[in-house]
Amino acid sequence: MRNLFPYLLFVVFLVNCAEAGLDEDSTEIPTPGTTTPNTNPTPVTKPPTATCLDQCVTQNESLCDGKNVKKCVIVDTCLDWQTVRCGESESCKDGACVAAGSCVDNDQDGYGQGCPAGPDCDDTKPAVNPAAKEVCDGVDNNCNSMTDEGFNVGMTCTVGSGTCQSSGTNTCSADTLSAICSATPSSVPEICDSKDNNCDGMIDEGNVCNFCNTDPNEPNNIMGTATAIIESKPFWGLVCPTDVDYYKVTTTAGKSYQFTVKLPAALYADVKLEGFGNGTLLATSDEAGDNLGLQWTAQANTTYAFAVTNKDAAEGAYYVSFLDQSKKKCANEDGLAPNQDINTAAELIPQWKTDAFLCDGTEDWYFMAATAGETIDILADGVITDVDVYLWGDPEGDNSFSVISQSATDSTTETITLTAPYTGNYYFHVQGLPGTTGFYDIRLQH
């Protein structure tokens, strides 16, 4: 019975505390203005324990526990939390009781509940308040219920100019200070066409108009380095001032062939065509005009070659064709043949102007490269009674071409003018009525 006596005293002590109306670990602070506040309330401590339970670690640390304050104090040599109730007209802020109506500014930007500067639309971010500067970050920085105003985010925009222009939408920059266009300028290598193809602000830079530097057939200035030509595979050649370009062909004895050089008017150079057999000059074509040609029947044990000589100081481009005459559709077939379908279409370059011949029951096909926004201007002027022109395009980019414009009136002259809807190749063909045969002029501007 003696061993229970200390515990009975402990129970009596707790009961007396409850009867006295005291909270075990808190005391109420009077409302300021009514009585002198007890600034150092003495808590009712817990009974002693054998060891400290490490309830808190820093003496006098205070936190908000709802409306009330929770403080870290020494209780019987141990640190423990004590709750101090705030008055009815008070609340807890930053670990202390404050009077109602005081400024509650959690992000310390001067704006908040009950603050003289006014309320805050986001009291967790000091960079967001009614006085803040709006930046481009997807946030309403200045609390005006709008986001990224003044930056045109989401609006359509363009970058680049001319052939390099691309469209996109405005998005916020990484530094949030501006909006940038999501588009990337499209550019192509610079070519000799009086345009800024690579969008660097310069036109025809890099010596691209010097054909001597861009001729893919060089070096072919002597017979020994002559460029080999495949029959029925015409191509463009480039001639420099006082230049000579040599070509060699493979023939079958007994077959008749035609070697032709055609010149576009805008890139005209005065040239001479010569044909050689086993190194010996056999024939020369040196007449005026835009078409030079040689025809011959191949002999056994003979190697044939041709020379295109520039007679003046002008640079020029020319179209080279080597054709088995048995494949000609008619006797007057021109040097652009074979070009009777889309797969054998002859390539035309800007400012092309030359004559051609339309055989009965055939079509003459051509193709060109154009840039979106360019004007394609085609004219076919027939000496024959009637010609029609059809322009083919591939706007979807799936290599499926269809007619996108045509000129098929009852006239010897047909024209098509169209703004190119995409960058890429365009095809067109010229045809006549059944029984139609004869010459016509081609004029291409783009």
In a domain, 259, yes or no: yes
The DSSP secondary structure of 174-194, one letter per residue, reads TTSSSEEE----------SSS
Look up tokens 């379908």; give the residue: 341
Phi, psi for 163 (deg, rounded to 5): -70, -15
The phi-psi region of residue 57 (left if phi > 0; otherwise alpha if psi is between -120 and 50; otherwise beta) is alpha
To the nearest whole number, what is the mean pLDDT of the chain?
Answer: 80
For residue 8, what pLDDT is reported? 35
Same domain, 349 and 432: yes
For residue 383, what pLDDT is reported? 75
pLDDT in tens, 87-96: 777 777 778 8
CA distance 13 to 16: 5
Task: State in Å, rounded, how far the first CA of the chain is from the last one.
Answer: 118
Q: Select the more confidently predicted residue: 111 or 436.
A: 111
Same domain, 304 and 386: no
Tell me which residue of 127, 160, 159 sits closest to 143, measured CA to CA.
Answer: 127
Q: Is the pTM of this model over 0.75?
A: no
Number of domains in the chain: 3
pLDDT in tens, 342-400: 998 988 887 788 888 888 888 999 999 888 988 999 988 877 668 899 999 998 888 89
Q: How confident is the model at residue 25 (pLDDT cuts 50, 70, 90)?
A: very low
Same domain, 320 and 240: yes
Q: Select the more confidently predicted residue: 421 or 348.
A: 421
pLDDT in tens, 33-42: 444 444 444 4
Same domain, 389 and 414: yes
pLDDT in tens, 216-261: 787 888 899 999 999 888 888 887 777 889 999 999 999 999 999 9
Same domain, 323 and 222: yes
CA distance 250 to 326: 16
Q: What share of the chain is helix, strand, coil (3-state, %, to 5)?
A: 10, 35, 55
What CATH number does residue 434 fall under?
2.60.120.380
For residue 33, what pLDDT is reported? 43
Q: Does 190 score more than 80 pLDDT?
A: no
Tokens for 125, please give them.
Answer: 């971010």
CA distance 180 to 208: 33
Picking from 48, 78, 99, the residue at the C-terminal end of a domain is 99
CA atoms within 13 A on the CB side of 435: 1
Picking from 99, 127, 156, the residue at the C-terminal end of a domain is 99
Residue 346 identity: A
In a domain, 147, yes or no: no
Could you give the angle at the alpha carbon of 69 between the alpha carbons of 66 and 72, nearest 5°?
125
Mean of pLDDT values over 257-270:
78
For residue 384, what pLDDT is reported? 65
Picking from 311, 327, 343, the residue at the C-terminal end of a domain is 327
Q: Does 263 score more than 50 pLDDT?
A: yes
Mean of pLDDT values over 260-265:
82
CA distance 334 to 234: 12
For residue 401, what pLDDT is reported? 93
CA distance 62 to 248: 98
Same domain, 440 and 334: yes
CA distance 351 to 444: 5
Q: Select the more confidently predicted residue: 186 or 147.
A: 147
- Choose the weakest-confidence range: 11-20, 99-108, 392-401: 11-20
In a domain, 197, yes or no: no
Q: Select the more confidently predicted residue: 335 or 279.
A: 279
- Choose the weakest-confidence range: 2-6, 60-64, 321-325, 349-353: 2-6
Same domain, 337 and 430: yes
Mean of pLDDT values over 302-312:
90
Structural domain of residue 95, as residue ranges? 19-99
Q: Residue 282 in contact with residue 296, Cβ under 8 Å?
A: yes
CA distance 273 to 287: 9
